[in-house]
Amino acid sequence: DQQVKQNSPSLSVQEGRISILNCDYTNSMFDYFLWYKKYPAEGPTFLISISSIKDKNEDGRFTVFLNKSAKHLSLHIVPSQPGDSAVYFCAASPGFNAGNMLTFGGGTRLMVKP
Amino acid sequence: KAGVTQTPRYLIKTRGQQVTLSCSPISGHRSVSWYQQTPGQGLQFLFEYFSETQRNKGNFPGRFSGRQFSNSRSEMNVSTLELGDSALYLCASSLENQREQYFGPGTRLTVT
């Protein structure tokens, strides 16, 4: 069963507008969440993370929101730029007792049009 | 600081052969994890090593194995290669007690 899901395989946004990428999870053991950006033929690049004790974390143009009761998180990119076009993965990590392993969603391809 | 490096970047092997992939973590990072990315299954966790010990293992057959050396460098081995093992193999490193993992560029393995 897929414990982390990104239900939108693709998203197209105009340059300068907001991009909102969504992610849902099912496993209550996850207590830390991360977003990665990936270009073809490269490894994922870490963007931003959030602990389950918070509901929001901001870093420049990137903000991650966590709704624990709904088991939902989202990544907001404002303003979107053409260079943001890539595949975005959300990932979840269980408590450290379970080791440092990440469970990834299937990814959302973001296209930012100039 | 140099990032995570993986060698080789590309590899073509024949079914039934075995392969060894190498990963050098970011300096000071002692945790190394391996992931497999395929179009059908996405990014899946293989195993994690810390201080030369396997701490965690994903749901992969025993043909997939790994090890970590005292300098934190890691290798993974796949024996008796199958066509379905064709994938991008990614290595990631992290600091002790840090959740953020930093990925290398990956090794693209093609099994023919």
Share of chain B above pLDDT 70, in %: 99
Q: Three-state SS across B60-92? A: CCCCEEEEECCCCCEEEEECCCCHHHCEEEEEE
Chain A, window 34-63: residues with a beta carbon less than 8 angstroms from a chain B beta carbon: 34, 36, 41-46, 49
Query: Nearest residue on chain B to A107, judged by CA atoms?
Result: B42
For residue B2, is pLDDT > 90?
Answer: no
Instruction: Please report the pLDDT score of residue B22 as a whole number.
Output: 98
CA of A70, closest CA in chain B: separation in Å?
A: 23
Burial bucket for residue B37 (CB in 10 Å: 0-12, 13-18, 19+): buried
Instruction: Please report the pLDDT score of residue B18 as a whole number.
Output: 98
Distance in angstroms (rounded) separating the CA atoms of residues A105 and A59: 22
pLDDT in tens, B29-74: 999 999 999 988 899 999 999 999 999 899 999 999 999 999 999 9
- The helix or strand, by DSSP H or E, that contains position A86, with its residue range, turns out to be strand A86-94
Instruction: Please report the pLDDT score of residue A98 as a whole number.
Output: 67
Distance in angstroms (rounded) separating the CA atoms of residues A77 and A61: 5
How far, in Å, are B13, B23, B90 from residue B111 at the CA level?
5, 20, 17
Residues in chain B with CB shorter than 8 Å from the CB of A105 are 42
pLDDT in tens, A105-114: 999 999 999 9
Ranges in chain A, pLDDT < 50: none
Instruction: Please report the pLDDT score of residue A2 as a whole number.
Output: 84
For residue B96, is pLDDT > 80?
Answer: yes
Instruction: Please report the pLDDT score of residue B40 as a whole number.
Output: 85
Instruction: Please report the pLDDT score of residue A100 as a whole number.
Output: 81
Instruction: Please report the pLDDT score of residue B97 as a whole number.
Output: 80
Q: Which of helix, strand or coil describes residue A39?
A: coil
